[in-house]
Each structure stands twice: as C-alpha cells, then as structure tokens.
C-alpha cells in the first residue's frame, strides 16, 4: 500500500474504532429526536387538573358561549355570588373573566384577572369566541337596520361562517416548461436540515483535523513521520481520513433515519387501517399519502448530489485552513487568535443561511451562496427551492477553485509549520514560509 493510503487508513481506523465515536454515532440520532420531541411532548402535557375560570357576565350574552375544554372549566357566576369570587381566586379559581358591557358597543369592556400570568391558550380561546359573537352581533345590527339588502347580509353571514381559509398550493415551473407541485415548508425544512448538517460537520470535523495536526506536533511524532512521508501526503491523508470518518457517520445516520422513518410510516399506516373509523376524517390516509407525495416530489437525487459536492468542498476548504493554523502553533491555547476569525466566518455563513430561508432568491442568499467561504452552508438552503443551474455551477466552481488554492497554500505552510516550535508566528511570517524551498 502506498504511504498516502497508509496514512488515510490509520487516521480512519483509529477514529472509527474509538468508543466515543461509536457511542456518539449511535446515540446522536436518538439524542436529536429526543431533543426535539421531549419539549414538544412536555408542552402538550398540562398539569393534570382542570382550571376553573369564573365568568361574570353583566350582559348575559356571552357567558353561555364559552365551552369548557379539557384544561379549562368555565363557570358562570351570577351577580349575587360576585363578592366571594375574588377571595376564591388562586384557590379553586384560576381566573376571573369579567364582561361589563355589550362588547360590540365597547370592545374593551372585558377583562381577565388571575394570580399567575394567564396562558396564551386561555386568552386565545376567549378572544376567538368573543370575537365571533361580536361579528355576529354586528351583522345582526346591520340586518335590523333595514336599509340593507337581506340577501347580501345572508351571503356575508355565510362568508363569515365559512371563514376565508385559503389553501395555497405552490408550483414550480422549471426551465423545461414542466410544472411540479412544490412545498415551501418542506423545502425550508430540508434546506435547514442540510445546512445544519454541513455547518456541524465543518465545525466538528474541521476541529478534528486541527486536533490531529496539533496532536502530532505536541507528541513530537511529526518529525519522525515526515522523515518517511511527504508533509503533503501527511496532510492530505489526514484530511481525507477524517473526512471519511465524517461520511461514515453520515451514512450510519442516514441508515438509522431511514429505518426510523420507514418504521414510523409502517406504524402509521397499520394503525391507520385498524382505527380508520375512530380517527377524524381529515387525519386519514389521504393526508399521509399527500405528505408522501410531496416528500417524493422533492428532487432528492439533485439535493443529494449537491450536498455531497458542497459537503466535500466546504469540508476540505475549512479543514485546510484549520490544519494550516494548527501547524503553526504549539498548543490549543495558541490557536484562538487564528481560529476565532475562522469560526466567526462559519457562524456568519450559518446565520446567512438561516435568514436566506425566508428569501432564497434575495441578495443576501445570492451573494453568500457564491462566496466560497459561505457557499457550502448557504447553498444547501437554496437548492431545495430550486435555483438556476448556472448559479449552482458557478458556486461549485468558485468553491473548488478556492479550496484548491487554499489547500496548496495550507500544504506549504503546514510543511514548515509542523517543524517549528517555540514562538507563535504572525500571519506575515507564515506567508514567508510559503516561499521556503
């Protein structure tokens, strides 16, 4: 086996065999699911007991409209009991809703009093019920006034009752003239997912490359190594080896995710068949099929292809930079000065990607997805939304051109840096190293 192969093999095997790698790889998806699911699940839990809300309605119009829910029990309180209610607050009463006037005359004549901040959920129940009634009242007034066409009123009523729920379906017209149904939400989710993945991997594995270079320097093995391996091979071997570790992790996660989702959809499908009758009609198989067809409508092949391209480009670009700086210093403590700006750029790219989701064709998204230092992160947000081929190609060409340049520069500095101990060099000195024979 040639030396580069040996170096790659060592870098790869020693890392993949580590317990920490195996544990992290297997646990991470579980952790991710847990991290998103647990708060979601916790938020659906209420504290178990039903909260009593006293309703004091001087008008007598609204009190009966408030229907109790699982969490809130509305109790209509007559005028006679009014005095006690305040003393019960905080004991068996959670809140008091007081309506003093006809709301369609004075919309401010309603108040909610509680000892703790009233939950958003409760507020929205009350507001929606009351608003609906007020709308009705206003329409009633209008029809009673007589100078309006009754038919028009009836139509307005039906419009109001139906609500103006618009279901926006989005389509994408590609350059070939074909139309495909697209889902903005899904594109957003997918874009963010891949952006976070690339961001995480650049930081995590870039750091790993840095640690690897420092480890060799600190343990003083590097001179032993370069007496039989060319520094370039050592560097390239390290970057490739560690990159393969990252890809291994990705593949494992992909497989785990695939298993998880196929398990999930199987579970949904089978439970759907068994209890189709019990489920509300809109939650039936139709919905899931619709979801599946939107998922299928995403061009996974294209996204996957570009993900790999940008993943490789971004990783090598940043890994080279990390390796270059690591080679120039003696210990982790000295890396800060060089690493902080680089990390800031990566974080900036991530934020740019984050905001590009809202406007994937805006100037921020456009430029940051062309600039090589942010393009791998930002471009992944934009691709699921569909962007012109030339932008993607230009971005890839720029990225690969830059990483080749940076990698050459990095190799030249690395070659000198790994053998330098002592004083931390300035950027100027490092640039002089490039010219060394």
Partner 1 sequence: MYLETRNVVKQYANHLALNNVSIEVPRATVFGLLGPNGAGKTTLIRIITRITAPDSGEVMIDGTPSKAEDVYKIGYLPEERGLYKKMKVGEQAMYLAQLRGLSKKDAHRELMIWFKRFGIMDWYNRKVEELSKGMQQKVQFISTVIHNPDLLIFDEPFSGFDPVNADIVKREMLRLKEEGKTIILSTHNMESVEELCDNIALIHKSQVVLQGKVFDIRKEHRPNIFRFRLTGSEFDLEHPSFTLLSKERYHEFINLRIQKVGDISNNELVKLILNKYEVVSYDEELPTMNDVFIRTVTK
Report the first-to-last Cα separation within the chain, whole angstroms: 28
User: Should residue 165 be labelled a site residue for partner 1 when binding is judged by CB under 8 A?
Assistant: no
Looking at 154, 421, 426, 427, which residue binds partner 1 (CB under 8 A)?
A: 421
Half-sphere exposure of residue 380: CA atoms within 13 angstroms, side-chain side: 29
User: Should residue 10 be labelled a site residue for partner 1 when binding is judged by CB under 8 A?
Assistant: yes
User: Should residue 219 be labelled a site residue for partner 1 when binding is judged by CB under 8 A?
Assistant: yes
C-beta of 281 vs 422, nearer to partner 1: 422
Stretches 124-132, 176-184, 365-373, 428-436: which one binds partner 1 (CB under 8 A)? 428-436
Nearest to 355 by CA among 345, 366, 363, 365: 365
Q: Is 332 left (phi over 0), alpha (psi -120 to 50) or beta?
A: alpha
User: Should residue 22 be labelled a site residue for partner 1 when binding is judged by CB under 8 A?
Assistant: no
Distance CA 368, CA 376 (A): 9
Looking at 3, 104, 157, 424, which residue binds partner 1 (CB under 8 A)?
A: 3
C-beta of 56 vs 416, nearer to partner 1: 416
User: Should residue 16 be labelled a site residue for partner 1 when binding is judged by CB under 8 A?
Assistant: no
Residue window 177-216: x/- pattern of binding to partner 1, with contact defined by CB under 8 A = --------------------------------------xx
**Min CB(412)–partner 1 separation in Å:** 12
User: Should residue 6 be labelled a site residue for partner 1 when binding is judged by CB under 8 A?
Assistant: yes
Half-sphere exposure of residue 334: CA atoms within 13 angstroms, side-chain side: 16
- For 362, the token pair is 């805006």
Distance CA 352, CA 365 (A): 7
Residue window 29-58: x/- pattern of binding to partner 1, with contact defined by CB under 8 A = ------------------------------
Looking at 225, 247, 295, 370, which residue binds partner 1 (CB under 8 A)?
A: 225
Nearest to 299 by CA among 436, 183, 426: 183
Provide the sign of the torsion angle of the four alpha carbons 376, 382, 384, 386, taken in this order. Answer: negative
Stretches 4-12, 108-116, 248-256, 310-318: which one binds partner 1 (CB under 8 A)? 4-12
User: Should residue 429 be labelled a site residue for partner 1 when binding is judged by CB under 8 A?
Assistant: yes
User: Should residue 14 be labelled a site residue for partner 1 when binding is judged by CB under 8 A?
Assistant: yes
Q: Is 116 left (phi over 0), alpha (psi -120 to 50) or beta?
A: beta
Distance CA 309, CA 181 (A): 26
Vertex 179, ends 173 and 183: CA angle to 5°?
80
Helix (H) or strand (E) holding 254: helix 231-274
User: Should residue 104 be labelled a site residue for partner 1 when binding is judged by CB under 8 A?
Assistant: no
Task: Give SS3 for 295.
Answer: helix
Stretches 22-30, 223-231, 302-310, 325-333: which one binds partner 1 (CB under 8 A)? 223-231
- 111 forms bridges with which residues in the sheet? 98
**Min CB(231)–partner 1 separation in Å:** 8
Contacting residues toward partner 1, per CB under 8 A:
1, 3, 6-7, 10, 14, 215-216, 218-221, 223-229, 419, 421, 429, 432, 436-437
């Amino acid at each position: 086996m040639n030396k580069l192969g040996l170096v790659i093999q060592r870098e790869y095997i020693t890392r993949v065999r580590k317990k920490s790698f195996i544990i992290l790889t297997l646990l991470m998806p579980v952790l991710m699911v847990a991290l998103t699911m647990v708060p979601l699940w916790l938020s659906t839990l209420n504290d178990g007991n039903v909260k009593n809300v006293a309703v004091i309605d001087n008008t007598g119009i609204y009190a009966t409209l408030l229907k109790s829910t699982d969490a809130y029990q509305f109790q209509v309180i007559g005028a006679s009991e009014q005095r006690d209610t305040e003393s019960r607050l905080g004991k068996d009463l959670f809140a008091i809703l007081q309506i003093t006037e006809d709301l369609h005359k004075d919309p401010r004549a309603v108040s909610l009093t509680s000892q703790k901040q009233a939950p958003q959920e409760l507020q929205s129940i009350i507001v929606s019920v009351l608003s609906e009634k007020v709308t009705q009242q206003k329409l009633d007034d209008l029809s009673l006034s007589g100078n309006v066409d009754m038919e028009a009123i009836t139509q307005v009523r039906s419009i109001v009752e139906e609500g103006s729920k618009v279901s926006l379906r989005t389509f994408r017209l590609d350059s070939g003239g074909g139309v495909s149904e697209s889902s903005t939400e899904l594109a957003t989710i997918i874009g963010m997912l891949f952006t976070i993945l690339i961001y995480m991997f650049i930081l995590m594995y870039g750091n790993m490359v840095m640690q690897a270079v420092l480890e060799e320097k600190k343990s003083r093995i590097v001179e032993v190594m370069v007496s039989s391996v060319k520094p370039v091979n050592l560097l390239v071997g390290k970057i490739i080896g560690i990159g393969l570790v990252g890809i291994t992790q990705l593949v494992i996660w992909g497989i785990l995710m695939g298993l998880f989702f196929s398990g999930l959809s199987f579970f949904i499908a089978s439970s759907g068949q068994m209890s189709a009758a019990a489920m509300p009609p809109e939650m039936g198989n139709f919905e899931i099929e619709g979801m599946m067809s939107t998922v299928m409508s995403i061009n996974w092949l294209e996204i996957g292809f570009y993900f790999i391209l940008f993943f490789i480009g971004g990783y090598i670009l940043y890994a080279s930079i990390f390796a270059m700086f690591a080679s120039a210093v003696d210990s982790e403590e000295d890396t800060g000065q060089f690493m902080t700006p680089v990390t800031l750029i990566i974080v900036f790219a991530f934020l740019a990607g984050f905001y590009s989701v809202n406007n994937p064709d805006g100037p921020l998204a456009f430029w940051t997805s062309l600039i090589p230092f942010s393009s791998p992160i930002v471009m992944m947000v934009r691709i699921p939304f569909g962007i012109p081929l030339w932008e993607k190609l230009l971005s890839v060409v720029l990225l690969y051109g830059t990483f080749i340049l940076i990698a050459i520069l990095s190799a030249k500095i690395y070659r000198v840096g790994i053998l330098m101990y002592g004083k931390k060099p300035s950027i100027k000195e490092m640039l002089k190293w490039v010219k060394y024979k």
